[in-house]
Amino acid sequence: MSEARDECHIIGWKNLLGGSTWDLLMNRYECYSGGKTLSLSYTNYIGGSDFINHVKGGKSFDIAIGDREIMQKLAIAGRLTPLPPECVGDLLHNESYPNWLMQWALRHVDRTDATETHFAIPLRWGSSSILVKRDRHRKFHNATDARFLKSLIDEGARAALLNPGDFALSSLSFLASAANPNTPFMLTDEEFCEVGESLERLLNAGSTLVDDLSGFSENILDTEPDVIFCAGDWLLNDFSDKAQGLSWLEDRYIFPDIPDMEFAFFEMLGISSATKNLEASLLVTKILLSREFRQLLEKPTGVYQGNPTTFDSQGYGPGFTRIPVQETLSRARARLLPRNHEYSPKLDDWQRAWREFKLRAQGGGG
């Protein structure tokens, strides 16, 4: 008698599934499905740009785990299927999924009866800010406005920037907020030119661009830049584990109180509207979003450690103080796909500017 098997293909962030997380998914699936084996294939991507290329390439998937702004694009295009209300209810009531995180789920609210339809739910989340050299911060009178970053760059500040998977939004969000703190993801042509000018000045100042998370803290130690982009809990936790300790950063840098320079990002889980086995996809979704699985994601995996989703905890805030994670998310703004004032997509323009900056920063262009 042949073994009963269900197939499922997931596209998700690199290293999300492996070791204990893979074993948990396989074991729980067999248990909950009445003895069926899960035949799982998993496609890694290494950043938002890579994820977009996978999706644009027409590759099929049953479950996608990706940045909120890109998953929103998939939902609008009809490529995600609505999650059953009982699935969402089970998460909240039986799996201790926090309400403060569920509010960031991708949902549609019916205006006639106020019913909610969920298309994707956060599996992991993070936040990032900038750190500024103490002498630079004092020079600008302890500024608390986002345009302070542009002033720093105009003065020749040297920066360390992160380039995870060639995704422009990770670092360009900060320059966009400096150009227009009110609507950083809806810039005028003039404001976008200002972002380009800031990139040019960063190049001329000898700024460095690092492709991977693991090398970012080492680059900071080696170069001591004036400004550190994309400084989230993951970076501060990484410094805490180094011989120099977090005090090395605290002695040299300010974590400024500039809410317009704090961004939240989310890795959302959604089911493809073209899934070949909705029942299997729903069961895999249930396991991946379970409290048990999310607890595993909070453990360090190399340099990356997932922020808490299973209990109330604290993260880093201005002044390197510890603040409740709810306060972190209430302060930060979510990253969005950039558009112009006619609501036309502009991500390709941002990616093009970022690729040119990367080419020149890494010595590949004049």
Please report, rounded to a whole number, the percentage of residues in the chain having pLDDT higher than 70.
93
Q: Classify residue 324: in a domain, yes or no.
A: yes
> Tokens 């390709």 correspond to what residue?
348
From CA 271, how far away is CA 248, in angstroms rounded? 44
Residue 288 domain boundaries = 5-124+266-297
Same-domain status, 51 and 91: yes
pTM for the model stands at 0.87
From CA 290, how far away is CA 293, in angstroms rounded? 5
Same-domain status, 114 and 130: no
Q: Classify residue 112: in a domain, yes or no.
A: yes
Mean per-residue pLDDT of the chain: 87
Query: For 204-255, what is each residue's pLDDT tens digit?
Result: 999 999 987 778 999 999 999 999 999 988 888 888 888 888 999 999 999 9
Contact indicator for 268, 66 with CB cutoff of 8 Å: yes
Q: Classify residue 303: in a domain, yes or no.
A: no
Same-domain status, 320 and 293: no
Same-domain status, 118 and 215: no
**Number of domains composing the chain:** 2
Beta strands in the chain (DSSP E): 5-13, 37-45, 63-67, 106-109, 116-133, 159-162, 208-210, 227-232, 253-254, 263-271, 314-316, 322-324, 333-334
Same-domain status, 226 and 93: no
- What does the pLDDT read at residue 315? 82
Same-domain status, 102 and 133: no
Same-domain status, 62 and 95: yes
Same-domain status, 250 and 138: yes
Q: Which CATH number characterizes residue 272's domain?
A: 3.40.190.10
pLDDT beyond 50 at 303: no
From CA 288, how far away is CA 280, in angstroms rounded? 12
Contact indicator for 316, 322 with CB cutoff of 8 Å: yes
Contact indicator for 207, 159 with CB cutoff of 8 Å: yes
Q: Classify residue 16: in a domain, yes or no.
A: yes
Burial tier of 33 (Cβ tally within 10 Å: 0-12, 13-18, 19+): middle
Same-domain status, 90 and 175: no
Same-domain status, 139 and 46: no
Same-domain status, 222 and 333: yes
Same-domain status, 225 and 274: no
Measured in whole angstroms, how far is the alpha carbon of residue 330 from the centre of its chain? 16
pLDDT beyond 50 at 1: no
Query: For 235-248, what is each residue's pLDDT tens digit?
Result: 888 888 888 889 99
